[in-house]
Chains A and B, each alone.
Chain A
Amino acid sequence: EIVLTQSPATLSLSPGERVTLSCGASQSVSSSYLAWYQQKPGLAPRLLIYDASSRATGIPDRFSGSGSGTDFTLTISRLEPEDFAVYYCQQYGSSPYNFGQGTKLEIK
């Protein structure tokens, strides 16, 4: 079973800043089958990135993903006010398809 660890748990930043979120896997994620989701309070998660680096439909290009094996990152090049939310990584290469514990982006 693959365990995903996200860091940091919380980040305090200002609009306009660049941010990188990390997701580490306890073992290699098959074929980089890793996704990133954004969740805002009271709403269901939204798919941002799949296959580690492909943006989902309608996702702005300020969001980018990278990584392979056991180390993955989500970068937001320039934070917009609507980007302050919780971000989860998830691997879908092998069951169980676990999530990380999330990183909360909060406004400084």
Chain B
Amino acid sequence: QVTLRESGPALVKPTQTLTLTCTFSGFSLNTSGMCLTWIRQPPGKALEWLARIDWDDDKYYSTSLKTRLTISKDTSKNQVVLTMTNMDPVDTATYYCARISLIWFGATHAPMDVWGKGTTVTVSS
């Protein structure tokens, strides 16, 4: 069974750096074709794609946020970490991680098929 769980601080102050961890089970990011992505959703607003990391350590970032984001993986711990610098109240959102399995879909591109429940982050002084 594939599961993902997001964790991190519920409250951060403006200008601080946010560090979020996605801990997953049921698959390995060492396996060719496995990828993990981060998405966020401000209260009452739409989903926003943030970043992706692949089994081979390729990384992709949102155009508007790429200067503030860093994604990394620790395959020994089955974790992916997202850091976002210079946090602002507009970054208040629920942050989700989700799996992309090129293997499952038998393709070079695949959608996000399994999601975590999300973690809520509020940015306020």
Chain A contact residues, CB within 8 Å of chain B? 1, 30-31, 33, 35, 37, 39, 43-47, 50-51, 56, 88, 90, 92-93, 95-102
* A96 vs B61: C-alpha distance when bound (angstroms): 7
Task: Tell me if B52 and A95 are in contact (CB < 8 A).
Answer: yes
Q: Which of B48, B61, B62, B115 contacts A44 (CB 8 A)?
A: B115
Task: Tell me if B46 and A88 are in contact (CB < 8 A).
Answer: yes
Task: Tell me if B111 and A47 are in contact (CB < 8 A).
Answer: yes
- Chain A binding surface, main DSSP class: loop
Interchain nearest-CB distance for B88 vs A (Å)? 20
* A53 vs B52: C-alpha distance when bound (angstroms): 24
Task: Tell me if B113 and A56 are in contact (CB < 8 A).
Answer: yes
Task: Tell me if A96 and B116 are in contact (CB < 8 A).
Answer: no
Task: Tell me if B37 and A44 are in contact (CB < 8 A).
Answer: no
- Residue B47, interface by CB 8 Å: yes
Task: Tell me if A90 and B46 are in contact (CB < 8 A).
Answer: no
How many B residues are at the interface, by size bracket?
A: 20 to 34
Q: Which residues does chain B contribute within 8 Å of A100, judged by CB atoms?
A: 46
Task: Tell me if A101 and B46 are in contact (CB < 8 A).
Answer: yes
| Cross-chain pairs A/B with CB under 8 angstroms, 21 sampled | A30-B109, A33-B109, A44-B96, A44-B116, A44-B117, A45-B115, A46-B115, A88-B47, A90-B47, A90-B49, A90-B111, A90-B112, A92-B112, A93-B109, A95-B60, A96-B49, A96-B61, A99-B47, A99-B48, A99-B49, A102-B47
Q: Nearest residue in B to A97 (C-beta to C-beta)?
A: B49
Q: Nearest residue in A to B6 (C-beta to C-beta)?
A: A44
- Residue B33, interface by CB 8 Å: no
Contact with A along B81-125 (1 / 0, CB 8 A): 000000000000000101010000101011111011110000000
* Residues 43-59 of B contacting A (Cβ, < 8 Å): 46-49, 52
Ranked nearest first, the 10 interchain pairs of A and B with the lowest CB-CB distance are A35-B111, A44-B115, A95-B60, A50-B111, A99-B47, A101-B46, A33-B109, A102-B46, A97-B49, A96-B62
* Residues 68-92 of B contacting A (Cβ, < 8 Å): none
- Residue B1, interface by CB 8 Å: no
